[in-house]
Amino acid sequence: MVASEFTASLLQVLFVSSLVSALPQPNPNPYPSPPITREDTTTASDIPPLALVDQPDASCLSKSLLLTNLTIYAAQVFKGSPFQAENSSVSFQLFNAATNTDAQCSAYSIALTPNAVGSDPYQWYNCFMESRDPRMTARFQYDATLNHLTVNERWVCDDMARNRSVQFTAYNFEWLDVNCTDSAASQRTCVQPEGNEIYFPVEVTAKDL
């Protein structure tokens, strides 16, 4: 009799436990944390997934968010003699894979001549945008003494899903990889090897307009 009562009680406990386990369980985290974003910037997590695939300009958005470098072609540098106060020149072509556009960048100035009176490595020079899109700009600085190139390029992508535009900025400074030869007149000529591409690393930030 005692054994049968124990068995009945055990079966009752197991039955109740099975009913409880079958009930819907509460969400352990009903209030998930919001995504962490930087103020005034947009990251990949901020843009709805449909925005990257269901609009005509989706490739501009997705490629811009994944961009890690710009490409430099046909770089040439002429450094004039500081003793004769000669102007120096810099020219190169800048390609942006996110927008599939080129910028022609060039400058001719005494500010580019190293160690000359009037030399200024912090002066900005504007590039010509082949797309002629007024929402795209590119500019550069060149430190002839250190052979450092600074690039700043901006462009805009339309985000149809959110009914707004996003402005992207690519920026960085790096040593310019060119081959140089010196002349007896204290001049230096530097060229990018033909057929070589310079992958110029950049940091890309984004901001809603």
Q: Indicate the CATH number for domain 44-208.
A: 2.40.350.20
pLDDT tens digits for range 14-41: 454 554 454 444 444 333 333 333 334 4
Segment holding 154, helix H or strand E: strand 148-159
pLDDT tens digits for range 45-68: 444 443 333 444 568 898 999 999
Predicted pLDDT of residue 154? 97
The beta-strand segments (E) located in 80-124 are 88-96, 101-109
Predicted pLDDT of residue 35? 35
Mean pLDDT of the chain: 79
| Least trusted range by pLDDT, from 140-149, 187-196, 198-207 | 187-196
Distances from the Cα of 5 to the Cα of 1, 15, 112, 167, 174, angstroms:
6, 15, 100, 76, 84
For range 79-104, the mean pLDDT:
92
Q: How is residue 62 written in tokens?
A: 């997705």
Find the DSSP H helices in 58-119.
58-66
Break the chain into its structural domains and give their ranges. Answer: 44-208
Predicted pLDDT of residue 36? 31
Closest by CA to 101, choosing from 56, 58, 136, is 136
